[in-house]
Amino acid sequence: MKKLQLSLGIRILGLVSLLTAVAFFCLFMANSYWMRQITLYQIDRLGLRSSELLSMLIDGPMRRGDDEGTHEQFRIAGRLYGDIRAYLTDFRGNITYSTKPGVLRLDLTSIYGQEKIGAMLEQSLKEGLDSKALLELQERPYYLRVRSIANAPECYHCHGASQPILGALVEFQNLYPDFAKLRTMQMYGGGLAMISLVVLLAALLFYLRSRLLNRIGELSMVSREIRQGNYSVDFIIGGDDELGQLGKDLSSMVHRLQTAEKFAAIGEFSMYIAHEIRNPLFAIGGFANTLLRVPNLDSTSRQKIQIILKESTRLDNILRTFINFSRPMEAAMVLVEPNRIVREVLELIDFKKNFPRVRTKLFLDEDACLVRGDAEMIKQCLLNLIKNALSTMPEGGDLNIRTSSGEDNVVIEITDTGIGLPREVLEHPFNPFTSLELAMTRKIIIDLGGELHLESCPGTGTGSELRLPKYKGQ
């Protein structure tokens, strides 16, 4: 039992835990990536707006050739956008205006020695292409945008017309606060995901253990007990799911096995009875027949000898029935129509003569499916059950016979309004020593793959439910 739990339980729980953790990790990484992309998209939009605003600020003074006014606009931009460093270079890459004092006339690439910055600036000055990139400066993330400044006709009075590109507007936006918030949000998201993962795994593992593994363990324990010969245990598995149904099916199989063992024991006992009793019984019957042929036998003696012969014959019939009960039956399996069998059995009973006060009512399902079995054996079982019902109605009553189709079987139900079965029969209805006909009926039905259920209450009648396996070829 413990070994089964360790092997099957750990494998299932481990696999579920691993798959759940991988799924959460993938979702967390995807969410982090999407958040980063959204943040960069928003930064790009805001950077573009900042660049356009800065361009609008410096456009007027630059076009008028107002050098001091242009410097003033850069100083204003530096105060307004503290997280942005803006540089305006000439066509050689030298800084002409900047939000950072003290760098005028310097080469921009000498301040920022990264090759990527130089390549983007050169591309803007020579090809007139705008570019943007995410890079790291002084161990902090920055968003770089380079925009080319084309030489317009209104700028010819200051710069002439020889240079198609006057310079480039270079902006460095400090993303450290934004990325710090992004990391904080990712940490919160990761923590929330971890808590959710733990709660989900705990709930899932609890459910798997309580609804699956423990129940499988119970099945394994009961199976081991049965394998060791303890047939008194029962498969008590709660629920209406597949495991619950499996427990019910296994319990039914065990009960059939118990019945089979009981029948086997009875068979051995019956064969012993037949061997030990029938030989002396034949001798008693033979001597009785011999005595009946004695001449001048008085009537009183002849009557007593006939009683001996009659009772020995009855005892021999009982022994023959026990022998037949112990032997395996050879059934001729054919397709049988339940409604036809019911009608044929009722024709064998003379109700008007023998049971005039019994009212027979039929509720036959005309769409009842065919069953596969031995027609004569099924007929004998129905006859036994009907006789059993009639025996409980000495004053008359109602005998109801109903047929219906279930999911896997065809049901023949026989109910009466009699006085019920005697207590000694009701306590052990299928014991051959209390009711040989009911025991024989149940044995036949089980051999045919069916089930027989019997309920009886004193004063309210008896109900018999015979279930035969449905023919699947329909």
Q: Which of 90-94, 103-107, 425-429, 440-444 has the lowest mean pLDDT?
A: 425-429
- For 170, the enclosing helix (H) or strand (E) is strand 165-174
What does the pLDDT read at residue 437? 77
pLDDT at position 195, please?
84
Q: Tell me, what's the pLDDT at 188? A: 81
- By percentage, how much of the chain surpasses pLDDT 70? 76
**Looking at domain 334-469, which CATH architecture does it have?**
2-Layer Sandwich (3.30)
Rounded mean pLDDT of 75-87? 82
Lowest mean pLDDT among 140-144, 275-279, 289-293, 358-362: 275-279
Residue predicted with more confidence, 332 or 452: 452
Question: For every residue of 267-326, which 3-state class applies, written as one string?
Answer: HHHHHHHHHHHHHHHHHHHHHHHHHHCCCCCCHHHHHHHHHHHHHHHHHHHHHHHHHHHH
Residue 358, burial from CB neighbour count under 10 angstroms (0-12, 13-18, 19+): buried
pLDDT for 423 equals: 73
Q: Please give the order of strands across the beta sheet that includes 165-174.
A: 95-98, 84-90, 165-174, 140-150, 131-137
Among the residue ranges 207-216, 272-281, 317-326, 372-381, the one predicted with the least confidence is 317-326
pLDDT at 5 over 50: no
Identify the weakest region by mean pLDDT among 97-106, 115-124, 265-274, 334-343: 265-274
pLDDT score of 2 more than 60 = no
What is the secondary structure of 204-233 as a DSSP string?
HHHHHIIIIIHHHHHHHHHHHHHHTT-TT-
Q: Which residues contact 172 (CB under 8 A, 6 or more apart)?
A: 84, 85, 86, 137, 142, 143, 144
Average pLDDT, rounded, for the chain = 78
pTM of the model: 0.43
Residue with tokens 């707006």: 49
Q: Is the dihedral of CA 241, 243, 244, 246 positive or negative?
A: positive
In this predicted structure, the answer to whether residue 177 has a pLDDT above a threshold of 70 is: yes
Contact 396, 355 (CB under 8 A): yes
The owner of tokens 């739990």 is 5
- Same fold for the domain at 2-181 and the one at 334-469? no
- Taking 50 as the threshold, does the pLDDT of residue 298 lie above it? yes
CB 412 within 8 A of CB 400: no
Rg (C-alpha) for the chain, rounded Å, is 50
The beta-carbon contacts of 151-159 under 8 Å, at least 24 apart in sequence, are 154/63, 155/62, 155/63, 157/65, 158/65
> Which residue has better confidence, 190 or 119?
119
Top-level class of domain 242-326: mainly alpha
Q: Please give the helix or strand (H or E) that residue 96 lies within, else none.
A: strand 95-98
Between 401 and 459, the more confident residue is: 401
| Region for residue 102 given its phi and psi (left: phi exceeds 0; alpha: psi -120 to 50; beta: otherwise) | left
pLDDT in tens, 32-49: 788 778 877 777 777 677
Residue ranges covered by each domain of the chain: 2-181, 242-326, 334-469
Tell how strand 397-405 and strand 334-336 pair up: unpaired
Residue 358: phi and psi, rounded to 5, are -95, 125
Q: Which residues are CB-contacts of 398 (< 8 A; sequence separation ≥ 6)?
A: 358, 359, 361, 416, 417
Average pLDDT over residues 201-230: 72
Q: Cβ-count burial of 448 within 10 angstroms (0-12 exposed, 13-18 middle, 19+ buried)?
A: buried
51 contacts 171 by C-beta, under 8 angstroms: yes
CATH superfamily of 2-181: PAS domain (3.30.450.20)
Give Dmax (Cα) for the chain.
168
More confident residue, 459 or 169: 169
Contact of 467 with 406, CB cutoff 8 Å:
yes
pLDDT at residue 304 greater than cutoff 70: yes
Lowest mean pLDDT among 19-23, 150-154, 194-198, 236-240: 236-240
For position 432, what pLDDT does the model report?
Answer: 64
**Region 191-197 average pLDDT:** 80
Under DSSP, is residue 199 helix (H, G, I), strand (E, B) or coil?
A: helix
Q: With a cut of 80, say whether residue 347 has pLDDT above it.
A: yes
pLDDT level of residue 401 (50, 70, 90 thresholds): very high
Residue closest to 384 by CA, chosen among 411, 356, 349: 349
> With bands split at pLDDT 50, 70 and 90, how would you rate the model's confidence at 184?
confident
What is the pLDDT at residue 148? Answer: 86
> Going by C-beta distance under 8 Å and a sequence separation of 6 or more, which residues neighbour residue 326?
263, 264, 266, 267, 268, 270, 271
